[in-house]
Amino acid sequence: MTIEQLQAAAASNTWATIQPEISLGVLALLLLVLEIVFPKKKHALIPTIAIVGQLGLLVGLLLNFLPTYLGETTFNGLLRHSESGQYLRAFFLGSSVLVSLLGVVALARQRMPKIEFFHITMVVTAAMMLLAQANNFLLLFVALETVTVGFYILVSYTRTNPLSLEAGLKYLVSGALSSGLLLFGIVLLYGVAGNPALLGSSSNPMGYEAVRIFLAANEGNFLASVGIVLVLAGVAFKIGAVPFQIWIPDVYQGAPTPVTAFLAVASKTAGFAVLLPLVYVFSPYTTLVTTTLAIMAGATILFGNLAALTQHNVKRLLGLSGVSHAGYLLLGVIAALTVPSAVGAIWFYLFAYLLASFAVFGVMVHVAGANDADQDLDHYADFAKKRPYLAGVLAIGLGSLAGIPPLAGFMGKLLVFIAAFKAELYWLLGIAIVGVVISIYYYFGWIKAAYFAQWRPPLPSGEPEPAAPAPTRVSLPWGIALGVLAAGSVIFGLYQGPVGAWILSR
């Protein structure tokens, strides 16, 4: 081999483009090796290695944020590297760091193998990062399945807890259904787009661009329409949009709290990361896509908020309120068809949602007792007096989720609403506003449970006081993390600055 050939090979080496994903996978494998190599006493070190390693990758990603291959496709069009993709990669890595941190606190109270948790979290994250750059239905499906299969394990991770097992089974069954729908939709699109008898057909009908060109050339094709709706349905499962939200309350409750947070933030974002490019691919069928998503968005907002109203278990409450957030975001997705600024608004919304959700989940893991599925609003009685710091973080997180100024969640909502107004989605905006008002009741109900003195019925004599689980002491890393998350919610609400402007200019 001559030196020129080697140089050519090196220049055409596209593996470097997915270096962060590969490194994450290697780090994940390394954890398993370390578990074997390290003596038992030193196992406590492994989560630290995982977290520090991921932080290192995150910093590396941010330093090399605008690589040379940006805007190109690699791997024969399987991947397309965009600034949105870079943002999402950082987003997923960041949430994975936080999930690992949550895992350290939550697993300390369980007698479970610990290292596998971090391993699977990282593998799932790597798959999500690929997903965010998918430019081909095949890769989309493979990456999405990697994520979903990882979550099957994570959801039923506390296998001694029947609720966790039940959640795992529910997630498996409904996840399999949605994968089936998605696959069927993809196959239909593949079939019609590859039909040489039709105009604009392609020899590579799995590629996004090929499908888009085909759809633009064949408006009103019935099979393609069915395919589009099925693909949208499959993605709707990921983001938890009505009518594919059925799994959410039970799975959110049963899954270990870190996994619930992972599902709520990263998995939902992955859904939107898939949906936005797909909506662009399907844009020739605007009416169909808009109608489908509009019905979904309206129903999702109303269902999520109304169902969350009656919840006492905070994990279910967060799950259902997360459904309504998916609804608001769908509003942005519909608007993105006509208003370019909507995409940035969605990314900002998700960023605010990440900060607020992890703040709330971070407080939750510290309150939860040995039974992770049993986390009730009543456990927060006198919380503000006993744990003022945690209560402050909780109030900021919930306020941001409710979308109250001066917190970041409000900016996210405002920008999405502006985009929706520009796209003239007046009815949906009306529904969204009703939803926001309803959501005040349960978000502030939670603040109320934590801050206000509650009257409790006197106990029958002789009965012991039903003890709320004693909150875990906040370790220094978590104290810092919670402070950063809460401060982030406040700062990005007041001053978006260059970072906010950058996110919004996507």
Partner 1 sequence: MQLPFDPLLVAILAPLAAALALLAPLPDRAAKVVAGLGFLLPALLGLHTWWHFPADLGGADYAFRSLYDTGLRGSFGIALHLGLNGISMPMFMMAGVVGLAAGLYAIQSKAERPRLYLALLLIMQGGLMGVFASIDIFFFYFFHEFALIATFILVGVWGGRDRGYAAMKMTIYLTLGAMLSLLGLIAIYVKSGAETFDLIALREEIAVHGLSGTVQNYAFGLLMFGLGILVSLFPFHTWAPLGYHAAPSSVSMLHAGVLKKFGLYGFVQIALPLLPAGAAAWAPALAWLALGNVVIIGLVAIAQRDLKQMIGYGSVMHVGYGFLGVACVNALGAGGVVLFMVAHGLSVSLLFLLATSVHHRTGTFDMDDMGGLAQKAPVLAAFFLTAILASIGLPGPGLLNFWGELTIFMAIYAHAQWMVVPALLGVVISAIYGLRAMGKVFYGQPSAAFLKHQEKNAVADLRWSERIPALVLLVTLVGFGVWPRAITEPLNKTLAEVYPQVEAVSPTPAAPAVASLPE
Q: Which residues of the chain form contacts with partner 1 (CB under 8 A)? A: 341, 344, 384, 388, 395, 399, 404-406, 410, 414-415, 417-418, 421-422, 429, 433, 436-437, 440-441, 444-445, 447-448, 451-453, 494-501, 504-505
Q: Cα separations (Å) of 17 from 68, 133, 139, 144, 222?
A: 9, 11, 15, 20, 38
How many Å apart are CA 131 and CA 140, to the nearest integer? 6
For 308-324, letters b (16+ CB in 10 Å) and e give beebebbbbbbbbbbbb
Return the bridge partners of 132, or none. Answer: none
Question: Is-contact 81 17, C-beta < 8 A?
Answer: yes
Helix axes 341-367, 497-504, angle to 10 degrees: 120
Q: Cα separations (Å) of 131 from 90, 368, 387?
A: 13, 33, 40
Give the chain's largest Cα–Cα span: 90
How many Å apart are CA 328 and CA 303, to the nearest integer? 12
Q: Can you list the pairs that 184-188 forms with residues at least 24 positions away whose Cβ atoms lie under 8 Å?
A: 184/227, 184/230, 185/226, 185/227, 185/228, 185/229, 185/230, 185/231, 185/232, 185/233, 185/234, 186/137, 186/140, 186/141, 186/227, 186/231, 187/227, 188/223, 188/224, 188/226, 188/227, 188/230
Closer residue to partner 1 (CB): 457 or 460: 457
Question: Is-contact 82 133, C-beta < 8 A?
Answer: yes
Place of tokens 């807890």: 161
Closer residue to partner 1 (CB): 210 or 395: 395
How many Å apart are CA 477 and CA 200, to the nearest integer? 56
Q: How far is the CB of 245 from partner 1 (least distance, A)?
A: 24
What is the enclosing helix (H) or strand (E) of 74? strand 73-74
Q: How far is the CB of 469 from partner 1 (least distance, A)?
A: 24
